[in-house]
Structure 1
Amino acid sequence: MKLHQLSTLAAIADTGSIRAAARSLDLSPAAVTKAMRELEADLQAPLLVRGASGVAFTEFGRALVVHARLVLGQLQRAEAEIEAMRGAAAGKLSIGVTPWVALTFLPPTVQRFRQHMPEVQLEFFEGLLGVVQPRLRDGSLDFSIGRPPPASPQSEFHNVPLFSTHSAVCARRDHPKAGCRTLLELEDAEWVLNWDPASRESISDNLFRKRGMKVPHTIHLAHSLSVVLGLLARTDMVSIFPWPLVEVLIAKENLWALPLRETVDETIVSITSRRGAPTSPAATCFLECLREVVDEGSRSQDPELRRLFHSIELLL
């Protein structure tokens, strides 16, 4: 396998076609096709299925794309590290961020980071596991700040806990169940959650079954916080947010945290990276800026920050 072949394969995956990949690489379609045929011949396996509507990847192709992106990403990180050692820090830093961190600690962290590394381009993704895990796996994401993936002895990810916080059930202020005191009163409610489909069973267990409740008939999943907020504002749906996010949104979005007696869903926010992957100078700098912002915030006299830290427990 040659590097230009892996670059070509990744470009086809990113753009969706041979012609688009050729444009992105400034090559002819014939050159892209030749590179793929040579790669297939080297591996003795079909990677692409060519048809009138374009190309699709075989199972061999899908597997190789993951490794191709990992190799290319690691080479980019190596180049960035050498540049940083030469005093010319540049490149790109890709980060997954859970919404409440994005709305609280992220802006001052970015400002501080930009003072240290103004030439580094930042790229952010909403920190849902379904979004960040594949990108961590293929090396296109440096790290994420959010819920850690399920732990296991053979886990491919490394987690460093940052915060622990509980959550609140939220709805619009004039919701028919705004005065509910127990989760049992919400058995017949319609829920919308900004969580991953893979979390559905753990949600059901943690929130409902362990309390002897029936799992609500309807639990919608939304892969965007703005979608959830829009639905809460104009429907009778309810949702669950970590308390720091509630503190940020409750006044701005006309939301109401139901005065439940129960403790709802403890959330751990961690820094998650691919196990064994070296940390780039840019990533190290960004995480140090984040720790400084959090440390200063925990000692701040600002009322809004005090209210935020009242709802979290620092673990770092």
Structure 2
Amino acid sequence: MKIHQLRALVAVADTGSVRGAARMLNASPAAVTQSLQQIEGDLRLQLVARTPLGVTLTPDGLTLLAHARLIVGQIARAHQAVDTLRGETRGRLSIAVTAWVAMAFLPDAVLRFRQRMPEVQLEFFEGLLAIANPRLRDGSLDIYIGRQTPGEASAFACKPLFSSTRAVVARQGHPHAESRALEELLDLDWLVALDPETEGLAPYKMFAQHGLPTPRSIHFLHSLTVAVALLQKTDMVSIFPWPLVELCAPHESLCAIPVREQLDDSMVGVISRPGEPLSAAAECFVQCLTETIRRPASTYTPEMRRVMNSVDVLI
């Protein structure tokens, strides 16, 4: 297997077509096709299949793809490290950021980073476990600013940043807006972020640990925008970390339901692949984020003061 063949496989997987892969790699479609044919011939396996909707990977192709992403990503990071040694910092830094950290700290952190590494291209993803963890594993994400997998030891390295409690949220004027117990909310439709690491079981554990049955209706989501839209216009409820409540509730007509039960804490940190040093760009970004978090309290807006009062800073 050669690196250009693995790059072709990754590009086809990402674009869904040979032509799209060729554009991504700045190569001809014939060259991409040849690379795929060569690696299939060397391995004596069919890796791709053409369908009416484009090119898809076979099960064998998907197995190889996971390794190809890691190898291609590691080669790219090696080139970036060499560029840094030469005093030439460039390349791409891919980051997933959980919603409330993005709202509270990301703009200032990015401004600091752009001043120090203006040649580095930034790529951002929504910081949900279902998005971040697979990308960390396959090497397409450099760092994840977000929460660890709940309820079990994480498979990743983590530098803690914050700890906070969580709250049940609903629209203002919700029929259960003043409920004092989770038991009163069991018959509602719940919106929760899917946690693939525990096969979606995390939301159910919250009720079990208080001796309650599972709500009759739990729905999974992968977008804060979708969650807010549904909460605003329906009687669904969800679970937010308190900093997100402070940032969203006043502007999105939401409220925290004052249940007496203590919900699990949520720990947010800088999460990365274990046993692999961060690139110079990633180290710089983490430093810029840390400086932003540690900025003087006198610079905070009233909203940011409420956010900071809702967390324990761990750095």
TM-score, normalised via structure 2 length? 0.92
Equivalents in 2 of 1:230, 1:52: separation in Å? 35
Q: Contact 1:40–1:47 (CA<8 Å) still a contact in 2?
A: yes
Inter-CA distance 306–51: structure 2 relative to 1 (3 Å threshold): closer
Q: What is the SS of the residue equivalent to 2:141?
A: coil
Q: Which moved more, 1:261-270 or 1:122-131?
A: 261-270
Secondary structure of the equivalent of 1:49?
A: strand
Residue in 2 that maps onto 1:304: 303
Query: 1:137 corresponds to which letter in structure 2?
Result: R
Q: Kindly report which structure 2 residues correspond to 1:1-316, keeping only aligned pairs within 5 A, or say none.
A: 1-51=1-51, 54-149=54-149, 156-196=155-195, 198=198, 200-205=200-205, 207-296=206-295, 302-316=301-315
Encode CA deviations 1:59-81: one digit per residue, 9 max, x unaligned. Answer: 22112212222222122222222
Contact 2:192 2:203 in 1 (8 A): no
SS at match of 1:69: helix
Identity, % of aligned positions: 50
Amino acid aligned to 2:267:
I
SS at structure 2 position matched to 1:66:
helix
Give the TM-score normalised by structure 1: 0.92
State the secondary structure of the residue aligned to 1:179. coil
50-59 or 105-114: which moved more? Answer: 50-59
Question: What is the distance in 1 between the residues matched to 2:105 and 2:199?
Answer: 25
- After TM superposition, which residue ranges in structure 1, 4 or more long, deviate above 6 angstroms? none
CA distance in 1, matches of 2:52, 2:217: 41
Contact preservation (8 Å) 2:147, 2:267? yes
Structure 1 position 151, deviation (Å): 7.8
* RMSD, aligned α-carbons: 2.0
Taking the aligned partners of 1:52 and 1:234, their CA distance within structure 2 comes to 39
SS of aligned partner of 2:100: helix
Unmatched segments (≥5 aa) in structure 2: none
Aligned partners of 1:176 and 1:151: how far apart in 2?
32
Once the two structures are superposed, residues 77-128 of structure 1 have per-residue CA deviations (whole angstroms, 9 ceiling, x without a partner) of: 2222222232232211100111010110111111111111122111111111
Shift of 1:149: 3.0
SS in structure 2 of the partner of residue 251 of structure 1: helix
3-state DSSP of counterpart to 2:104: coil
Matched pairs, number: 314
- Give, as a single letter, the amino acid of the residue that structure 1 aligns with 2:70: L
Structure 1: gaps spanning 5 or more residues: none
Query: Structure 1 residues 122, 28: closer, same or farther in 2, change over 3 A?
Result: closer
- The answer to which of 32-41 and 92-101 deviates more is 32-41
